[in-house]
Amino acid sequence: MTSQHVLPRFDDRWSYLYFEQGRLERDAASVAFHGKEGTVQVPINHIGLLLLGPGTSVTQAAMKALMDNRSLVCWTGEAGARLYAHGAGGARSSRRLLRQAQLFCGAETRLQVIRRMYQKRFPDPLSAETTIEQIRGMEGARVRASYQAMALKFGVHWDHRLYDPGNWDYADPINRALSAANALLYGVCHAAILAAGYSPAIGFVHTGKMLSFVYDIADLYKTVTSVPAAFESAQKTGDVETRVRVLCREVFHEQRIQERCLPDIAEVLDAGDDLGEDADESAGRIVTLADGAEAGRVPWERERASEGGTVADGGAQV
C-alpha cells in the first residue's frame, strides 16, 4: 500500500479518465485496463477520478489498489453521462467531516456558509440586509444570463434547461451536453470532497440528496466550466457527449479546478487554517477504550476529564 505521507496532493492529480468495454485488473503495484484496443497502464496514484462506462468489469484487487491510493471510482452510463454508483474515499481523519456537520447543525452557522457560497459567485460584497431569497434570485438571473451569453457566443439555439433523467435521448443536443458536462464536474468535485474527508451528503444550499455538498461545490464553477464547454460542444452535430467529455478535461485544467477546489471548500466552511493540506491525515488513527493517552479523548471529553469526570460518569473515551 502506498504510504499516506507520499500520496500526491489532489491538485497534482489528473482530473479524470474514462474507460468502457474492457476489464480493469491489478498489475503489480498499479492497475491496467484491458480493452479492445489493447492494454493501458493506469497511474493510479495520479488519478483523481476514474469513470467506468458500459461493458466494464473490475477485479477486487484493482479496487483495493485504487482505494488505497484514494482514487474515486464511478460507474457511469455511456460516455460518462450518468452516474450509477461510486466507491468510497480514502481520508484517514474525520476532523473535516465533523466540522462540516457542526456547521450544518447550527442554524446561524449554516446560513453563514450559504452566504459565503453565494458571495463567491458575485464580484461585489453582498449586503448584510440582502436576504437568502433575494440572493437566490440574483443567482438564478446570473445563471440564465450565462446560458444566453454562451448561446450567443457559440451560435447555439437555446430555449431553456430541459431533460428527462429516465430518457436521455429526449433532450436536445445542448441539454444533453450540459447534463454530460455537469456530470463530469460533479465527479471531479466529488473526488475532491472525498479526498479531503468531507461528506458529499451534507450540503448547505442543496439538502436531502446523497450528493448535496457535491452540487453545492460544483455550482461555484459551472458558469466557467461545464456551461461554456457544453455550448462549444453543441456547435456541431454528431456525438456531442464525446466532444464535451474531451473539452471538459481541457477546461478543468485551464480553470485550475483541482487546484481551486479544496481551498474554496475551506473558504466557504471558514476553515482558514485548513487550505486543503493533508498534513494532519495521520491524526485519524483508530482510538479504542484501551487507549489511556490524553490524545485519545475528543475535545469535549478532555474538558470533562479536566473537571474530574470519569469513564463511569460520562468521561468515556472512544
What's the rounded Cα separation, in Å, for the pair 157 and 55? 34
Q: Are strands 38-42 and 72-76 parallel, antiparallel or unpaired?
A: unpaired
Nine cell digits for residue 287: 482510538
Amino acid at 29: A
What's the rounded Cα separation, in Å, for the pair 315 and 318? 10
Class (C level, CATH) for 10-86: alpha beta
What's the rounded Cα separation, in Å, for the pair 73 and 69? 11
* Residue appearing with cell numbers 480514502: 90
**Residue 300: its pLDDT value, please?**
38
What's the rounded Cα separation, in Å, for the pair 38 and 72? 24
**Each residue of 86-101: pLDDT tens digit?**
665 555 678 889 999 9
**Each residue of 171-212: pLDDT tens digit?**
899 999 999 999 989 988 988 888 788 999 999 999 999 899
**Each residue of 101-120: pLDDT tens digit?**
999 999 999 999 999 999 99
Which residue would you say has higher pLDDT here, 268 or 166? 268
Nine cell digits for residue 205: 444550499
Q: Are strands 72-76 and 49-52 parallel, antiparallel or unpaired?
A: parallel
User: Dihedral of CA 38/40/41/44: which sign?
Assistant: negative
Which residue would you say has higher pLDDT here, 92 or 244? 244
The DSSP letter of residue 7 is P
Within 13 Å and on the Cβ side, how many CA atoms surround 291?
12
Q: In the chain, pLDDT over 90 holds for what percent of residues? A: 36
Within 13 Å and on the Cβ side, how many CA atoms surround 162?
8
Class (C level, CATH) for 95-268: mainly alpha
**Residue 139: its pLDDT value, please?**
93
Compute the CA torsion angle 247, 251, 253, 256 (nearest 10 deg): -160
**Each residue of 11-35: pLDDT tens digit?**
545 557 788 888 888 887 778 888 8
Nine cell digits for residue 231: 455550448
**Residue 87: its pLDDT value, please?**
63
**Residue 114: its pLDDT value, please?**
94
Please say if the pLDDT value at position 77 is more than 80: no
What's the rounded Cα separation, in Å, for the pair 5 and 281? 8
Compute the CA torsion angle 159, 162, 167, 170 (nearest 10 deg): -10
Contacts of 79 (CB under 8 A, 6+ apart): 18, 53, 180, 239, 241, 242, 245
**Each residue of 111-164: pLDDT tens digit?**
999 999 999 999 888 888 889 899 999 999 999 999 999 999 999 999 998 888
DSSP string, 248-283: HHHHHHHTTHHHHHHHHHHHHTT-TT-SS--TTGGG
Domain ranges for the chain, please list them. 10-86, 95-268, 286-318
Please say if the pLDDT value at position 278 is more than 60: no
Contact 263, 276 (CB under 8 A): yes
Euclidean distance between the first and the last CA atom of the chain, given in angstroms as a whole number: 27
Q: Which helix (H) or strand (E) holds 137?
A: helix 132-154
**Residue 61: its pLDDT value, please?**
87
